[in-house]
Structure 1
Amino acid sequence: MSFIVVLGSINVDFFIRVEALPKPNETIMGHDTAVAMGGKGLNQAVAAARSGVETRMIGAVGSDNFGVMARDFLTARGVDDTHVVALDEVGTGMANILVAPDGQNMIVVSSAANARLTPGHAEQNQYLIEGAGALVVQLETPLETLKTALEIATAAGVKTILNPAPVDPGVFDLLPLCEVVTPNETELAKLTGIDGQDDDSLMTAMQTLRAHGAETVIVTLGDKGCAGLIDGELVRLPAFKVDAVDAVGAGDVFNGALAARLVLGDDYVSAMRYASAASAISVTRYSADAAPDRAEVEAFLAHRG
């Protein structure tokens, strides 16, 4: 079985739970503070590993205690951190996260070491990327680094999966190198200027990304499920109904699980269904470290029919 390479961000997350998200210039009181490891890259790597696929990460942390914590976190969850570098004179990336009772959240990220991940780091790991079943990237590390990694993967025939978050207009230069692109509904609207609220507009928005080079587009739609533009056809899957308590990292769980199932040989619709189930389970748990393992997802799907 092939392995997955995730090139992406590693953060330490500081959580504060609030009764309601603040308005501009508003000071509010929070409770139940917590510290956890996060970053889209780390979250997606953990989700992929927990879905039963060997996962290796390329990333950067600072030469600080948080960097040590992050690497220990990855290895404890089955992710190979051999290719994560510790950089001097810069800290590990950080995120401040506010979470409301309904699971809605606000997040502010400081890139720190993630911004120092260079094309050279991708080139140093060329052999690793070329041997992978899939390369997964996001937009919390420099675009030029992502482009180098995607070029290496594309030249070697490796499946490339891009989660275009947070949105950066420069992503359009990467789309011709991407076999699968996975925005959420907000990111899709920002990238295309189309709201995607009905089938026709959703199809048009996804076709816009395809016209810029993406081969397959899969969109997460929150409580409306997910949709894919697969071989030119629109496929919609409804969301699994669960009692959500924390939506932080749900999209990352979807992406990691999707990548794992594609590497395991699932077709797109089957992979989307598995990823939707994994994401649904994750929102019933507090913190970004909520990705379920393969046995949990399979039991969930068996129960739901």
Structure 2
Amino acid sequence: MNTVAIIGSINFDIILGIDRLPTAGETMPMNSLSSAGGGKGANQAIAAARSGAKTAFIGKVGADDYGKRMLSILEENDIDITKISVKKNGQTGQAYILLQESGQNSVIINGGTNLEITTSDVIQAQEKIKEADFLIAQFEIPIDRIVESFKMAHENQVVTILNPAPAKKLTADLLKITDLIIPNEVESQMLTGIKITDEKTAMESAKILQKKGVKNVIITMGSLGAYYMTEKNEGLISALKVDAVDTTAAGDTFIGALSSQLNKDFSNIKEAIEYATNASSITVQTVGAIPSIPTRQEICDGIK
């Protein structure tokens, strides 16, 4: 069983079901309104935990109803929440998800307390980081906190995984302490300037990321699959064909599920990606982030 620590975002999701995105100046009705737990960090943590990883979370919520509900959701999924701090007058992060009839989504984020994670929060979580096989971070929290936690991880031989979402400029300090980077095709294009259309363009993009300092790369490409490049090998894992109703948390499910299976030396990266791909294919068939994330049993049944 892998031990996974995640430093990241906790959001409460408000999901607006619509036919399509409105044009400028247009007023249009919703088809549905629902809510669910979410946030890239929380999604990835639950995906790891449901796949059997011993999982701890480092983050911050407000002492509001959303914060209380999110702490309960994480705890119900066997995630160690002892290093999630609660800010008395803080506002827990929120995400407003515009879910189109096609299953595609657009997301508007209110960062809230996710943006208030401090150096002190990282220091207080150092034992959880030291105990982990993998430390995962995303860009919905301050980059300085990611750098601090990744340095701590490297000092203790913990493998670091960076999900550069939403895409931001990558600093040299962060790149040199990132062991594995996992962007999607849009984020990869923003980071490298190469539009991902097939395996060849994914390879070109991955090579640029390696030149920037990250030795191991996985680019998730939706229906095109997932392309990986390590120091030793590379390849494309095809996506499974399913009827997608909501792509929310598909990438987060992939990352969390992957971390539960991956060896620290990446020796089984192909098999871990195949497992994570199957997990994502299950996620997109259900509306909502956390409610859609499958268990290990569901994933293994899908593989069979």
Q: TM-score, normalised by structure 1?
A: 0.95
- The answer (yes or no) to whether the contact 1:12–1:94 under 8 Å persists in 2 is yes
- The answer (yes or no) to whether the contact 1:3–1:55 under 8 Å persists in 2 is yes
Amino acid at match of 2:303: L
Q: Which residue of 2 aligns with 1:295?
A: 297
Shift of 1:74: 0.4
Amino acid at match of 1:274: Y
Shift of 1:171: 4.7
Q: SS of 1:295's equivalent?
A: helix
- The answer (yes or no) to whether the contact 2:219–2:227 under 8 Å persists in 1 is yes
Q: Using the alignment, how far apart are the partners of 2:79 and 2:92 within structure 1?
A: 18
Report the CA distance shift for 1:288/1:155 in structure 2 as closer, same or farther (over 3 A): same
Shift of 1:230: 2.0
Q: Which residue of 2 aligns with 1:239?
A: 239
- The answer (yes or no) to whether the contact 1:143–1:170 under 8 Å persists in 2 is no
Residue identity (%): 35
- The answer (yes or no) to whether the contact 1:11–1:94 under 8 Å persists in 2 is yes
What is the 5 A alignment of 1:32-71? Answer: 32-71=32-71
Q: Using the alignment, how far apart are the partners of 1:186 and 1:174 within structure 2?
A: 20
Amino acid at match of 1:296: E
Report the CA distance shift for 1:33/1:213 in structure 2 as closer, same or farther (over 3 A): same
- The answer (yes or no) to whether the contact 1:138–1:163 under 8 Å persists in 2 is yes
Q: Deviations over 1:106-146 (max 9, x none)?
A: 10001010000012211111121011111011010000000
Amino acid at match of 1:51: S
Q: Using the alignment, how far apart are the partners of 2:172 and 2:258 within structure 1?
A: 22
Q: Using the alignment, how far apart are the partners of 2:23 and 2:171 within structure 1?
A: 30
Q: Deviations over 1:241-260 (max 9, x none)?
A: 11111101100000100111
Shift of 1:90: 1.9
- The answer (yes or no) to whether the contact 1:41–1:137 under 8 Å persists in 2 is yes
Report the CA distance shift for 1:227/1:32 in structure 2 as closer, same or farther (over 3 A): same
Amino acid at match of 1:299: D
Moved more, 169-178 or 202-211: 169-178
- The answer (yes or no) to whether the contact 2:176–2:214 under 8 Å persists in 1 is yes
Q: Which residue of 2 aligns with 1:159?
A: 159
Q: Which residue of 2 aligns with 1:9?
A: 9
Q: Using the alignment, how far apart are the partners of 1:62 and 1:295 within structure 2?
A: 34
Q: Which residue of 2 aligns with 1:136?
A: 136
Q: Using the alignment, how far apart are the partners of 2:54 and 2:182 within structure 1?
A: 21
Q: Using the alignment, how far apart are the partners of 2:135 and 2:197 within structure 1?
A: 30
- The answer (yes or no) to whether the contact 2:14–2:33 under 8 Å persists in 1 is yes
Q: Which residue of 2 aligns with 1:122?
A: 122
Moved more, 168-177 or 82-91: 168-177
Shift of 1:82: 1.1
What is the 5 A alignment of 1:223-262? Answer: 223-231=223-231, 233-262=233-262
- The answer (yes or no) to whether the contact 2:198–2:224 under 8 Å persists in 1 is no
- The answer (yes or no) to whether the contact 1:94–1:110 under 8 Å persists in 2 is yes
Moved more, 142-151 or 82-91: 82-91
- The answer (yes or no) to whether the contact 2:203–2:227 under 8 Å persists in 1 is no
Moved more, 194-203 or 136-145: 194-203
Q: SS of 1:23's equivalent?
A: coil
Q: Using the alignment, how far apart are the partners of 1:127 and 1:287 within structure 2?
A: 33
- The answer (yes or no) to whether the contact 1:164–1:171 under 8 Å persists in 2 is no
- The answer (yes or no) to whether the contact 1:92–1:112 under 8 Å persists in 2 is yes
Q: Using the alignment, how far apart are the partners of 2:198 and 2:35 within structure 1?
A: 39
Q: Which residue of 1 aligns with 2:271?
A: 270
- The answer (yes or no) to whether the contact 2:199–2:227 under 8 Å persists in 1 is no
Report the CA distance shift for 1:38/1:186 in structure 2 as closer, same or farther (over 3 A): same
Question: What's the Cα RMSD here?
Answer: 1.5
Q: Which residue of 1 aligns with 2:211?
A: 211
- The answer (yes or no) to whether the contact 2:83–2:124 under 8 Å persists in 1 is no
User: How many pairs were matched up?
Assistant: 302
Report the CA distance shift for 1:172/1:220 in structure 2 as closer, same or farther (over 3 A): farther
- The answer (yes or no) to whether the contact 1:196–1:203 under 8 Å persists in 2 is no
Amino acid at match of 1:243: D
- Segments of structure 2 that go 5 or more residues without pairing to the other structure are none
Amino acid at match of 1:282: T
What is the 5 A alignment of 1:64-103? Answer: 64-103=64-103
Amino acid at match of 1:238: S
- The answer (yes or no) to whether the contact 2:224–2:238 under 8 Å persists in 1 is yes
